[in-house]
Structure 1
Amino acid sequence: MEKIMEESKQGQTLVLEQKQENTKKLFIESYGCQMNFSDSEIVASILANEGYNTTQNIEEADLVLVNTCSIRDKAEQTVRKRLDQYNNIKKINPGMKVGVLGCMAERLKSKFLEEEKIVDMVVGPDAYKDIPNLLKEVDEGRDAVNVILSKEETYGDVAPVRLNSNGVTAFVSITRGCDNMCTFCVVPFTRGRERSREPQSIMEEIQQLWDKGFKEVTLLGQNVDSYLWYGGGLKKDYDKASEMQKATAVDFAQLLDMVAGAFPKMRFRFSTSNPQDMHLEVIEVMAKHHNICKYIHLPVQSGSTRVLKEMNRQHTREEYMALVDNIYRIIPEISLSQDMIAGFPTETEEDHQDTLSLMAHCQYDFGFMFAYSERPGTLAARKLVDDIPEEVKKRRLTEIINLQRDISLERTKRFVGQTVEVLIEKESKRSNAHWSGRNSQNTTVVFEKGNYKPGDFVNVKITDCTSATLIGEAVGYSEKMN
């Protein structure tokens, strides 16, 4: 549940620059969190070297790939419906191959080949480099499956093709997998144990993005705060590292300091953070660098210490609130966002009230809120009874959403009358006369276009707001443009 899913991007098909020498057609669409969309860029890059150009016309595709998510039942049901649609197309184009990638592939493995007769190939998140070999297996009439989870694979040597990019913002993966066995979450089972990417390859990818004109990078991982490079291998094996490896290891605070210092005209964000691994050194690095955005997505899931223990979250309510207090103390202007689950098994009315009071204390700018839905294969599904009635879940979720909406409006109002730096990303959805971008605190800002263009850092004086959007007028370029 800690993976942010942008509903507007679900099922997005990817298109990249066509290579004249390529003769085969690839149709690839993605569901789930930003990690899945980032992985699709890696897959497209691998297949571009195997003779595939992307297409948005599924009827002409030689290969159809769907990158899947297991975080919520709705995402899995959507993929199953898509596979039914592929089946109808395959009757017209029998030579078309279909593959399932990602977390759902890892969770269901060979069941896909047995139940979804349409599927030719099942590929887990650590096996994308094996796709060319798997395609040969399919060509020879065999079902192809590789869902082996790796201890080393980080795709640090694959330069992702930036698909559907606005040319301004990009994601750079720094970790894969997760060691936090939260009872509601399938990620450790679908993406494996946690390992970090070599810092130099991260710096090189950011350099390539800067050279291409990108202005903002989000460092991406299931749990970025536990980033730890000590020469390769799983994070859990760090205690076996040599003294030299430990002396030269790089943690997340050091990596963040490195990238911000090396690219002072570029803006940096990161996601997702885990409260138990968020150290004050990271906050102090954020305060030190003007080009690290003052925004943290800090999932909590519940405001009740008892429920947090049932979730196997490695912190209490009090520890989380103390962390938030320290963050506000070091960076008063920061914005925070949350993930919250309503109706987790055994949650009482008192637990729910604890969640509401924690929200009031933390004053989040945004939130990603869900009613609990049991995910097969998780510890909660095996050990806890889903005992909260649906109407109670819905009522509690509504109360959480309504409180967040009220807090969001008050938090957004604080910018009215201020001048904020905005990176122009795209045209506003509601008006082709306005630009849209985000300020450092991740709030969307819209303003009249004037002579500005995407990629410009602009100072905007805020004159009005809604609960989620700031409205203003540009007053000139920011210092980053000098």
Structure 2
Amino acid sequence: MAKIFVEAYGCSASFADSEMISGLIINGGHTLATNSSESDLNLIVTCSVKDTTANKMMHRIKSLKTKPLIVAGCLPKAEQSNVEKFIENASLLGPNSLGKTLDVINSTLMGKKQIALEDSDLSKVGLPKVRLNSAVGIVEIASGCMSECTFCQTKLAKGDLTSYRLGDIVRQVQTEIKEGCREVWLTSTDNGCYGLDIGTDLPTLVNT
């Protein structure tokens, strides 16, 4: 059992990912450290939407690399080579690879670098989580988008639109409310295109 420090930057989807990563850590028998000084391993969930943000991430990564480190989120997926040049020994975990979280953690704790950047079909709806704010439930409704913007790092990281099933989302929202959340945030790469790949849309979801 290890003490793991998780830190997140970026959009609400990144914070949702960090909550799910923390939930998987707890389910895997590890504990969460409150700061990096008391951890056995550091895990940073990154954002790469702008160059200034990416530069900030690199600076923070440098400060965390004194211990075994996992760089998760959009940055390693969109800029893998740059991240590996900057910190060659860190393990990498992509935003659509959360199902590999415990494998990557356990390998990293054993001193083995692991790269898990491949997209999976795993729905993020219903994964265990540790909320950053007990009053706010963040529910990810989709990943990726339908645009083809060549300048967009998020497109490189998240890929094409994958909407999660409406019924699963509704059940997750109900769970958030039952567990005491006073706010529920529906988040994704682009909420406006939710459901266009599965024959539904955002108004239908909201009105269900």
Q: TM-score, normalised by structure 1?
A: 0.41
In structure 2, the CA distance between the partners of 1:148 and 1:186, relative to structure 1 (3 Å rule), is: same
- In the alignment, the residues of structure 1 paired with residue 104 and residue 33 of structure 2 have an alpha-carbon distance, to the nearest angstrom, of 21
Q: What is the SS of the residue equivalent to 1:187?
A: helix
1:59 to 2:26 alignment: no
RMSD: 2.0
**Which AA in structure 2 matches 1:78?**
K
% identity of equivalent residues: 25
Contact 2:71 2:93 in 1 (8 A): yes
**Which AA in structure 2 matches 1:106?**
K
Which residue of structure 2 aligns with residue 101 of structure 1? 72
Which residue of structure 2 aligns with residue 40 of structure 1? 18
**Alignment of structure 1 residues 343-422 onto 2, 5 Å:** none
Q: TM-score, normalised by structure 2?
A: 0.90
Deviation at 1:33, TM superposition (A): 1.1
Unaligned runs of 5+ in 1: 1-22, 91-95, 230-234, 239-248, 259-482
- In the alignment, the residues of structure 1 paired with residue 205 and residue 46 of structure 2 have an alpha-carbon distance, to the nearest angstrom, of 30
**Which AA in structure 2 matches 1:52?**
H
- In the alignment, the residues of structure 2 paired with residue 213 and residue 85 of structure 1 have an alpha-carbon distance, to the nearest angstrom, of 36
Which residue of structure 2 aligns with residue 156 of structure 1? 125
Deviation at 1:190, TM superposition (A): 0.6
Deviation digits for residues 375-417 of structure 1, max 9, x if unmatched?
xxxxxxxxxxxxxxxxxxxxxxxxxxxxxxxxxxxxxxxxxxx
Mean CA deviation greater in 25-34 or 216-225: 216-225
Q: Return the structure number with greater relative CO, CA threshold 8 A, min gap 6.
A: 2
**Once superposed, which parts of structure 1, at least 4 consecutive aligned residues long, lie more than 6 Å away?**
none
- In the alignment, the residues of structure 1 paired with residue 181 and residue 4 of structure 2 have an alpha-carbon distance, to the nearest angstrom, of 26
1:84 to 2:84 alignment: no
Choose from 185, 193, 207 the match for 1:226: 193
- In the alignment, the residues of structure 2 paired with residue 158 and residue 34 of structure 1 have an alpha-carbon distance, to the nearest angstrom, of 16
**Which AA in structure 2 matches 1:123?**
L
- In the alignment, the residues of structure 2 paired with residue 210 and residue 139 of structure 1 have an alpha-carbon distance, to the nearest angstrom, of 36
1:113 to 2:63 alignment: no
1:255 to 2:202 alignment: no
**Which AA in structure 1 matches 2:127?**
V
Q: What is the SS of the residue equivalent to 1:47?
A: helix
Deviation digits for residues 116-151 of structure 1, max 9, x if unmatched?
14x42111101121022223433554321011123x
Q: What is the SS of the residue equivalent to 1:171?
A: strand
Q: What is the SS of the residue equivalent to 1:40?
A: helix
**Alignment of structure 1 residues 157-236 onto 2, 5 Å:** 157-163=126-132, 165=133, 167-228=134-195, 235=197
How many positions carry a matched residue from both structures? 208
Choose from 73, 77, 89 the match for 2:51: 73
Deviation at 1:54, TM superposition (A): 1.6
- In the alignment, the residues of structure 1 paired with residue 61 and residue 177 of structure 2 have an alpha-carbon distance, to the nearest angstrom, of 38
Q: What is the SS of the residue equivalent to 1:228?
A: coil
